[in-house]
Amino acid sequence: MADAPKNKGPYAWASLIGLIITGVVVIIFVWGNPEKKDDGKPLVQMRPKNVMQKYANALEVAMKFFDVQKAGKLVNTNISWRGDSALKDGSQAGLDLSKGMYDAGDHIKSSYPMAFTATMLSWAILEYGDHMDMVKQLEPARDSLKWITDYLINAHPSPNKLYFQVGDPEVDHRCWEKPETMDDNRPLLYINESKPGSDVAGEASAALASASIVYKKIDPKYSGELLTHAQQLHTFATTYNDSYITSFPKMQNYYNSSGFKDEILWSSIWLFHATHNKSYLTFVQALSDDNDYMGLGGMTVFSLDDKSCAAQLLVARLSFFDTGTVKASDKIGQDFRIYTDVSVCGMLPGAPLQLYEMTKGGLIWEDNKNALEYPVAQAFLTLLYSDYMLSSNMKKLNCDGKYFTPADLRKFAISQVNFVLGQNEKRMSYLVGYGTKYPQFVHHRGASIPADETPSCKKGFEWLNSTKPNPNIATGAMVGGPNLDGEFSDMRKNLEQLEPFTYNSALLVGLLSGLVSTSTVNNTFI
């Protein structure tokens, strides 16, 4: 568990906000429904083709990290060195919080990053589930998603109460042991009316709303349960406005939150997509009209801490396709399209007034800590935008007079994931278990301790300090990654570069799922 650094503020180039959006030929398109031509007749439903084996293999590897991170009573696990753990979590409050996933290389379970993991898994399934299905990863993705949403439902015992953390980081970090043998105190933290947390409640709402769409056809009863909790949490988040780090100041040392308005936007647009109830768009419009909400400049980096540009893309999606009660020509989608165009243009190499610093190796750069989170997240958004352009027959994106095609955007996304998979200064895959060269000293308790050892809290530190590679492979972990100069030190104590985060894997799964096939018609959303 580690702190998520605050993102940099907006850049002073407001001229791009007024960029002229290129002409868009819009097809009638409803997520999950057949596409239609201009004459109103359905098109032949396109299936993905031309599997890109490299990305299919990487996706299969990345999916395994969710099994590495699962808590509770394990079912059909394919990770030989993992067993049941945290079976009594939540018992002191009469709750079953045994499920869920550990956040990183330690044994804390936090609803903030865990819910973000679920939201990103849902989004990947909804946009690229047909790709996943081709390579037999759709069911594992749904299974991992439900492992989290079951936990979130149990962590929300009443409308205005959400348990957001199991375990004490200060206590947990004084031990180095397996999750199967941990016996330290596992206290619970929760938000309520007197100690609100709009960011945590908003993220949990987004997770459950998006998951409700995933399960709408395959398990309507479960979908309805998810949606009920999502709506209650949205009401809680919008009624009792404050950040959870205000209620619990110590949390800024672990999973910091620089604001909660992005989570309100995120939750609201997911609930609209889940319900097609336009009342949720009033929250979206209110944030658009809020001069204090700087996230709508399209100039922040997508991350656990800041979902602004991702939420903007979900609103802008309304301008590409007719969606439920909203037409592609409606103003709200068109307005947010401007923000999204600014954000996407700011990522593209060679675009005027490029927003983000790039390393010599061609990686988007934001922070030394957990460096790969940012380029993978941005690449996912860029790939989605590229596919939206192709699906709606939008030929070019106008970036202040310079034009980019969908192929240009896809090329950028590929450059970022290829860096992760080994096209970098070290010629090393930063996805553990992929390729022939990947990190051997991942900062992960369970992976570092031999399967036949059961050390106590303090005794386990001999494996943290060991100079031998991890005896267990944390397959699918995407480590923090290199520094700005491309340097990377494969040493277990190098927490900044070697600790994996579960939500990083969800971001990577989304990106890889989009690249598994060359098909670009997004037809899995409901």
Active-site residue set: 106, 443, 490, 499
Is the separation of the CB atoms in 58 and 434 below 8 Å?
Answer: yes
User: What are the Cα distances from residue 172, in Å, to 105, 307, 462?
Assistant: 11, 28, 16
Q: Is the Cα dihedral 19, 25, 30, 33 positive or negative?
A: negative
Is the separation of the CB atoms in 119 and 210 below 8 Å?
Answer: yes
23: exposed, middle or buried (C-beta count within 10 Å: 0-12, 13-18, 19+)?
Answer: exposed
Amino acid sitting at position 90: G
Query: Would you call 161 helix, strand, or coil by DSSP?
Result: strand
Is the separation of the CB atoms in 96 and 165 below 8 Å?
Answer: no
Structure tokens at 424: 């970098």
Is the separation of the CB atoms in 324 and 276 below 8 Å?
Answer: yes
SS3 content of the chain, % helix, strand, coil (to 5): 45, 5, 50
User: What are the Cα distances from residue 77, in Å, to 64, 366, 446?
Assistant: 10, 36, 15
Is the separation of the CB atoms in 185 and 107 below 8 Å?
Answer: no
Beta strands in 27-126 (DSSP E): 109-110
Whole-angstrom distance, CA of residue 314 vs CA of residue 36: 21
